[in-house]
Amino acid sequence: MSTLDEKAQAGMDDHAAHGGDGKASGAGGFIILFFIIGFAASMVLGWVIFPKLLYSQKQQPLNFNHALHVEEVGEGCQACHYFREDGSFSGIPKLAQCTECHEEPMGDTEDEAIFVEQYVTKDREVPWLSYSRQPDCVFFSHAAHVIGAKMDCVVCHGHIGESEVSRPYEYNRLTGYSRDIWGKNIAGFKRNSWDRMKMDDCAACHKEADAIHDVSVQTQRGHCYVCHK
């Protein structure tokens, strides 16, 4: 910052050296005004416009009512999101799993009709947009967290299980990552544990849970391969 001040000072001196013209004090007011305008404009740009530009939105192919499904199927989340025999996590269900119940339309909502007509009858997978997809270099083990550490789904996924409509999927235009991963709040503030899932968030939680494995020679913390592939 000192460099800026010095330059500003140099500019003043420069002006004074040319003799001035008596309007200096009035110009000083304008100077502050312009400073404020510039400041305000860039703040608006940075806080309001930029986030809108940075993130793009997509709608899910059809609305999915989690609340209704949880109520209907019982068993909670694992009725549809379960562990496979090899210990991997199934994630978003495939069409085959849906058609176990939805061979024929169930109920008469518009989304149900779209689902059955567009996907079930045509045997086409629904191109769901995953809010929680980590980048390709990340190995995330649901088994370690859900079975090993007995964590609740809500800790990372929030209350999606209670949602009645699918909110728009927001993704970062530059990185292509979901906003759920990349940070809901543009300033980086987290209100809930599920507001952001970047590496630091993983690390913070691991530290809190005292799950740091202190086996890394480089960092004396967890080893990179714990979460990377």
Partner 1 sequence: MKHEQTHGTPMKYGMAIDLDKCTGCGACMVACMAENNIPFKEDESEKLVSITWMRIFKLSNGKSFPDLDICYLPRPCQHCEGHGGHSPCVSVCPATATDYSQETGIVSQIVTRCFGCRYCMGACPYHARYFNWWDPVWPDGMEKYLSPNVSPRMRGVVEKCSFCYHRYQLAKNKAYLNGGRRVPEEAYQTACTQACPAGAIVFGDLNNPEHQVHQIVKPDPDNGNRSRNDRAFRLLERTGTNTKVYYLSSREWVRRAGDNYLAHEKTGQVAKLHH
Partner 2 sequence: MKVDRRSFLSFVIGGAAGTALSPLPWKLMDDSSIWSQMWPWTPVPPDGEVVYENSTCSLCPGGCGISVRKVDNRAVKIEGRPGHPVNDGSICILGLSGLQMLYGPTRIKSPMKRIGERGEGKWQKISWDEAIAILTEKLTDIRDKGEAHTVAAIAGSDSGTVPALIRRFMTAYGSPNFMRSPSQRDVDELAVKALFGGDGRTGFDVENADYILSFGSGFVDGWGSPVRMFKAASLWKEKNITVVQVEPRLSNSAAKATRWVPLNPGTEADLALGIAAVLVDENMLDTRAVSGLGSWKNDLLAAYATEKVSQTTGVAAGVIVDLAKGFAGANRPLALCGRGKGLVSGSLRETAAVYLLNALSGNINREGGMWAMPEADYIQWPDVATDNLASAGLVQPRLDGAGTGKYADARYLTNRLADSVNGGGPYPMQALLVAGANPCHDLPDTQRVRAAFARIPFIVSFSSFQDETAAMADLLMPDHVYLERYEDVPIGAGLAQQMIGLSKPVVSPQFNTRHLGEVLIATAMAMGGSIANAFPWDDYETCLEETLAEKWDSLMETGVWVQADTEPVADTFQLAGMDAPAVQAEGDVNSFPLLLVPYDAIQLTSGYVGEAPFMIKAVADTVIKGTDGFIEVNPQTARAAGLAEGERARLTTPRGEAQVCVHLFEGIQPGVLAMVRGLGHTAYDGHLAGKGVNINELIGPVEDPSTGFDAAWGIRAKLAKA
Interaction of residue 225 with partner 2, rule CB under 8 A = no
Q: Does the footprint of partner 2 cover residue 87 (CB under 8 A)?
A: no
b/e string for 145-165 if b means 16 or more Cβ within 10 A? bbeeeebebeebbbebeeeee
Residue 34 contacts partner 2 per CB under 8 A: yes
For partner 2, the closer of residues 30 and 225 by Cβ is 30
1 CB neighbour count, 10 Å cutoff: 5
42 binds partner 2, rule: CB under 8 A? yes
H-helix or E-strand spanning residue 55: strand 55-58
| Cβ closest to partner 2, residue 90 vs residue 99 | 90
Select the residue interacting with partner 2 from 65, 90, 132, 141 (CB under 8 A): 90
What's the longest Cα–Cα distance across the chain? 88
Q: Is 43 in the site for partner 2 (CB under 8 A)?
A: yes
C-alpha 193: how far from its chain's center? 12
Return the number of the residue (25 or 218) whose C-beta is nearest partner 1. 218
Residue 229 near which of partner 2, partner 1, none (CB within 5-8 Å, type-dependent): partner 1
Looking from the CA of 96 toward its CB, the CA atoms found within 13 Å total 1
DSSP states of 63-84: ---HHHHHHHH-S-GGGTS-B-
Which residues have CB under 8 Å from 151's CB, separation 6+? 145
Chain positions contacting partner 1, by CB under 8 A: 83, 85-88, 135-137, 139, 141-144, 147-149, 209-211, 213-219, 223-225, 228-229
Give the residue, chosen from 9, 10, 16, 36, that forms a contact with partner 2 under the rule CB under 8 A: 36
Which listed range, 56-64, 85-93, 161-169, 205-213, lies at the site for partner 2 (CB under 8 A)?
Answer: 85-93
Q: Which of 175, 190, 224, 225 binds partner 2 (CB under 8 A)?
A: 175
Give the x-and-dash track for 116-155 against partner 2 (CB under 8 A): -------------------xxx------------------
Closest CA to 80 of 101, 104, 107, 106: 101
- H-helix or E-strand containing 181? helix 179-182
The answer to whether 185 and 178 have CB atoms below 8 angstroms apart is no
Task: Indicate the residue among 89 and 169 with the shorter CB distance to partner 1.
Answer: 89
Q: Which stretch binds partner 2 (CB under 8 A): 35-43, 59-67, 159-167, 210-218?
A: 35-43
DSSP 89: B
CA–CA separation, 162 vs 165, rounded Å?
Answer: 9
Residue with tokens 């370690």: 144
Does position 4 interact with partner 2 (CB under 8 A)? The reply is yes
